[in-house]
């Protein structure tokens, strides 16, 4: 007989999102809150992120990943959160039933509320149609990070990093400090994928070249990587083959984006937003299936863990409260330079403040953020790498409702201000 467990809130994933959501759910009054984590320790990706820069928003101090994780693990334990480690959720139904493979064997769980906090996965070579041979020595940046920082292996000596996402930039510095030579970071777009501060402190500090607007044409090598071939792009975005060059190396790291890990969400049949790759949610983080919530990188890819914590705490509070679901009659869609918007649904009767997140499609100078035509924020610069989070104030929300009425479709626009 497979044991059946009843919980008030089941949280899937014990990364920063799951830890914050579970703690908040307990504090909001939920009696039994269980976190299911497939790894042997909580913290998600944080234990391998040994660099500093975490916690500036949440704690006003600069912590490393393991330190940041430790604080939230302690908080969650003190709040009375129940941890299921080495426990992988195999299935999730719309009726909020989970099957979990745990050290005690298979367990069925029925949950009044479920919080999805599974995080994301890295895009790989096939995802970007990386050409050439398939020798040993090609890693995603996060895998290399785990090898170096947790397992204690150096993946190679001469490294080219394809893509300039934050993990790639962090690894460029990390491998340099461990004695490897990083020969270039190659980025397809004309601007870096990661934060400006990481370009400065991870590349410029160590004289690592950043090759913007360059395509990686192929990986070379038979048994082991021997080099990569790159070429600059012309104005139409095509590689100029006559200017192709080979960079000799024994290792290639890929830092080419993240994909929210939504296999369980699909199984449950909840609505996904193709723009974010995550669930479509309302202002509480509740998905199209009542009682199932989502937060953190499984909802939308974040650049800062502090924002994950803030988002997950808010969602966890709703999941832990006994309030009925929102009415969700307003659709929210991106416009102008905005690439996506979270949440995708709003309830006309919601009580502000609530938070809206968006990212821009292209870098721009001073920009305004408008909701239903009402200016809700301004930014001095906007960059695709940096998420824009706006707390919508009660006064602005009243204006928005007056503009659009309480039904239909609202636009969230980011637009550059004319100088």
Partner 1 sequence: MSEEIQRFTCIVCPLGCSLTVTQQPGQAEPAVTGNRCQRGLEYGRTEVSDPRRILTTTISLTGATLRRLPVKTAAPLPKQFLLPGAEALRKVSVAAPVRLGEVILPDLLGTGVAVVATRGVPPGS
Q: Given the rule CB under 8 A, which residues bind partner 1? A: 47, 50-53, 56, 62, 64-67, 70, 148-152, 176-179, 195-197, 199-201, 204-205, 303-304, 386
Closer CB to partner 1, 203 or 315, in the complex:
203
- For the bound state, the minimum distance from the C-beta of residue 329 to partner 1, rounded and expressed in Å, comes to 35
- For the bound state, the minimum distance from the C-beta of residue 393 to partner 1, rounded and expressed in Å, comes to 21
Closer CB to partner 1, 68 or 340, in the complex:
68
**Dist. CA 61–CA 40, nearest whole Å:** 28
Closer CB to partner 1, 198 or 287, in the complex:
198
Closer CB to partner 1, 70 or 110, in the complex:
70
Closer CB to partner 1, 27 or 64, in the complex:
64
- For the bound state, the minimum distance from the C-beta of residue 179 to partner 1, rounded and expressed in Å, comes to 7
Closer CB to partner 1, 152 or 419, in the complex:
152
- For the bound state, the minimum distance from the C-beta of residue 405 to partner 1, rounded and expressed in Å, comes to 36
Closer CB to partner 1, 62 or 271, in the complex:
62
- For the bound state, the minimum distance from the C-beta of residue 310 to partner 1, rounded and expressed in Å, comes to 13
* Residues 111 and 7: beta-carbon distance below 8 Å: yes
- For the bound state, the minimum distance from the C-beta of residue 98 to partner 1, rounded and expressed in Å, comes to 28
Closer CB to partner 1, 154 or 233, in the complex:
154
Closer CB to partner 1, 175 or 294, in the complex:
175
- For the bound state, the minimum distance from the C-beta of residue 148 to partner 1, rounded and expressed in Å, comes to 7
At a CB cut-off of 8 Å and minimum separation 6, what does 66 contact? Answer: 43, 46, 47, 49, 50
- For the bound state, the minimum distance from the C-beta of residue 381 to partner 1, rounded and expressed in Å, comes to 8
If DSSP states are collapsed to H, E and C, what string results for the chain? CCCEEEEEEEEECCCHHHHHHHHHHHHCCCCCEEEECCCCCCCCCHHHCCCEEECCCCCCCCEEHHHHHHHHHHHHHHCCCEEECCCEEEEECCCCEEEEEECCEEEEEEEEEEEECCCEEECCCHHHCCCECCCECEEEHHHHHHHHHHHCCCCCCEEEEECCCHHHHHHHHHHHHCCCEEEEEECCCCCCCCCHHHHHHHHHHHCCCEECCEEEEEEECCCECCEEEEEEECCCCCECHHHCEEEECCEEEECCCEEECCHHHHHHCCCEECCCCEECCCCCCECCCCCEEECHHHCCCCCCHHHHHHHHHHHHHHHHCCCCCCCCCEEEEEEECEEEEECCEECCCCCCCEEEEEEECCCECCEEEEECCEEEEEECCECCCCCEEEEECHHHHHHHHHHHCCCEEEEEEEEECCC
- For the bound state, the minimum distance from the C-beta of residue 151 to partner 1, rounded and expressed in Å, comes to 6
């Amino acid at each position: 007989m497979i044991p059946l467990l009843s919980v008030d809130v089941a949280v899937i994933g014990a990364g920063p999102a799951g830890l914050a959501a579970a703690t908040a759910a307990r504090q909001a009054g939920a009696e039994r809150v269980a976190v299911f984590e497939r790894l042997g320790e909580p913290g998600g990706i944080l234990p391998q992120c040994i660099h500093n820069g975490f916690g500036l928003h949440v704690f006003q101090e600069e912590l490393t990943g393991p330190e940041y994780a430790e604080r939230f693990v302690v908080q969650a334990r003190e709040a009375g959160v129940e941890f299921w480690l080495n426990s992988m959720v195999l299935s999730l139904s719309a009726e909020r039933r989970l099957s979990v493979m745990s050290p005690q064997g298979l367990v069925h769980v029925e949950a009044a509320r479920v919080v999805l906090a599974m995080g994301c996965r890295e895009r790989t070579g096939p995802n970007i149609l990386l050409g050439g041979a398939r020798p040993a020595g090609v890693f995603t940046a996060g895998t290399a990070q785990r090898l170096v920082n947790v397992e204690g292996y150096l993946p190679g000596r001469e490294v080219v990093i394809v893509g300039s996402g934050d993990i790639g930039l962090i690894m460029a510095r990390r491998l340099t400090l461990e004695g490897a030579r990083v020969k270039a970071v190659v980025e397809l777009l004309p601007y870096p994928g990661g934060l400006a501060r990481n370009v400065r402190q991870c590349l410029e500090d160590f004289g690592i070249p950043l090759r913007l607007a360059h395509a990686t044409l192929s990986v070379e090598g038979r048994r082991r990587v021997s080099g990569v071939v790159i070429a600059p792009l012309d104005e139409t975005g095509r590689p100029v083959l006559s200017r192709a060059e080979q960079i000799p190396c024994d290792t290639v790291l890929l830092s080419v984006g993240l994909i929210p890990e939504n296999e369980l969400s699909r199984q449950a049949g909840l609505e996904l937003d193709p723009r974010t790759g995550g669930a479509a949610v309302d202002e509480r983080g509740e998905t199209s299936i009542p009682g199932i919530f989502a937060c953190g990188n499984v909802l939308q890819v974040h650049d800062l863990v502090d924002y994950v914590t803030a988002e997950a705490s808010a969602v966890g509070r709703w999941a832990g409260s006994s309030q009925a679901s929102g009415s969700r009659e307003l659709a929210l869609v991106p416009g102008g330079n905005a690439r996506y918007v979270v949440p995708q649904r709003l309830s006309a009767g919601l009580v502000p403040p609530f938070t809206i997140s968006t990212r821009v499609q292209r870098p721009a100078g001073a920009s305004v953020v408008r909701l239903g035509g009402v200016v809700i924020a301004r930014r001095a610069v906007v960059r695709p790498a940096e998420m824009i989070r706006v707390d919508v104030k009660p006064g602005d929300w009243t204006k928005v409702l007056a503009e659009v009425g309480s039904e239909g479709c609202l636009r969230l626009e980011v637009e550059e201000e004319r100088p």
